[in-house]
């Protein structure tokens, strides 16, 4: 992997100018579980609420928030200091729905059996406490685009749902969605004309991205005006990005990539865009 370009602060330091000030963290918000909904065998929708959600309003689809989970032996997490060290059990999620009028946010969890977030979601109960940080930036939908291709696995399904909801009725969207099994299939909706193909991967995470690649090769030619959102396991995202560019003739500028998780890595960074691919 090549070295990434310097950040603005580092670039300024190289040029001899004063580095840009570090972005201040938003204060953490204490929230409680108010509802739990079973969407499928491996997906739970958990509603979080609390007075500290005042002012929490994401500005774009596929935005993110960070949740801090209790450490072993804790009933609730320790409130992190704004400029203190990063919490060990902090993970990144997409706010599926935000209702500012009632101070609620819905977050969908994939129960993959590993890590503090999946373990917590599997046993979640009404009244349990988490800390929430964010929101972070998302994916600005091009309302003028008439063709969209979404390529995602189950980790990115909440982000995909927010994109689907933001598309105009004048658009057409093709969605290829990779999940563990057919038992995960459920209705998805969009104002746009939606064509959806569910792809069963199986329980072996080493097969991540293979069903997406196979289905992508069987699609008709991708028009140059098509906007593509690609979000899945990090290595698979890079393979698929290269497939789109090298074999299917897609321009790099058509693709927005997101590595939502990485095989063998406990806490993959939330800013993996695959630009090195």
Phi-psi region of 213 (alpha: psi -120 to 50; beta: other; left: phi over 0): alpha
Pairing status of strand 95-99 against strand 90-93: unpaired
Task: Delimit the domains of the chain by residue range.
Answer: 29-136, 147-261
Averaged pLDDT, 173-199: 97
**Would the pLDDT of 6 be above 90?**
no
Q: Could you give the CA distance from residue 59 to residue 40 in angstroms, rounded to a whole number?
A: 28
- The two structure tokens encoding residue 61: 């689809």
pLDDT tens per residue, range 25-65: 678 999 999 999 999 999 999 999 999 999 999 999 999 99
The better pLDDT of the pair 225, 264 is held by 225
Fold match between domain 29-136 and domain 147-261: no
What is residue 193's predicted lDDT score, i.e. its pLDDT? Answer: 98
pTM > 0.85: yes or no: yes
Q: Could you give the CA distance from residue 223 to residue 225 in angstroms, rounded to a whole number?
A: 5
List helix spans (H) across the chain. 8-15, 115-123, 157-166, 210-217, 234-242
Class of domain 147-261: alpha beta
The better pLDDT of the pair 153, 87 is held by 153
Percent of the chain scoring above 90 in pLDDT: 73
Beta strands, E only, 167-267: 172-179, 193-200, 227-233, 255-261
The helix (H) or strand (E) run that includes residue 130 is strand 129-136
29-136: CATH architecture: Beta Barrel (2.40)
Residue 69: beta bridge partners? none
Average confidence score pLDDT of the chain: 88
pLDDT tens per residue, range 205-256: 889 999 999 999 999 999 999 999 999 999 999 999 999 999 999 999 999 9
Judged by average pLDDT, the poorest of 40-54, 72-86, 154-168 is: 72-86
pLDDT confidence of 115, banded at 50, 70, 90? confident
What's 52's DSSP letter?
A: G
What is residue 264's predicted lDDT score, i.e. its pLDDT? Answer: 64
């Amino acid at each position: 992997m090549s070295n990434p370009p310097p950040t603005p602060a580092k670039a300024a330091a190289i040029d001899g100018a004063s580095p840009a000030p570090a972005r201040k963290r938003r204060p953490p918000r204490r929230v409680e579980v108010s509802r739990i909904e079973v969407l499928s065998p491996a997906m739970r929708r958990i509603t979080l609420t609390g007075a500290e959600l005042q002012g929490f309003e994401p500005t774009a689809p596929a935005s993110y928030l960070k949740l801090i989970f209790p450490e072993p032996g804790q009933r609730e997490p320790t409130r992190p200091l704004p400029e203190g060290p990063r919490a060990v059990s902090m993970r990144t999620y997409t706010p599926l729905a935000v209702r500012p009028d009632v101070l609620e946010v819905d977050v969908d969890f994939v129960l993959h059996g590993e890590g503090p977030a999946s373990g917590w979601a599997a046993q979640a109960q009404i009244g349990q406490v988490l800390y929430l940080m964010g929101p972070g930036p998302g994916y600005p939908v091009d309302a003028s685009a008439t063709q969209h291709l979404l390529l995602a696995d189950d980790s990115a399904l909440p982000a995909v749902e927010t994109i689907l909801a933001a598309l105009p009725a004048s658009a057409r969207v093709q969605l290829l969605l990779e999940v563990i099994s057919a038992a995960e299939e459920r209705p998805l909706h969009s104002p746009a004309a939606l064509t959806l193909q569910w792809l069963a991967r199986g329980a072996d995470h080493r097969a991540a991205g293979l069903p997406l690649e196979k289905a992508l090769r069987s699609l008709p030619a991708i028009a140059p005006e098509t906007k593509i959102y690609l979000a899945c396991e990090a290595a698979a995202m890079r393979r698929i990005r290269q497939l789109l560019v090298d074999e299917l003739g897609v321009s790099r500028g058509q693709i927005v990539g997101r590595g939502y998780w990485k095989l063998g890595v406990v806490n993959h960074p939330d800013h993996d865009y695959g630009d090195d691919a």
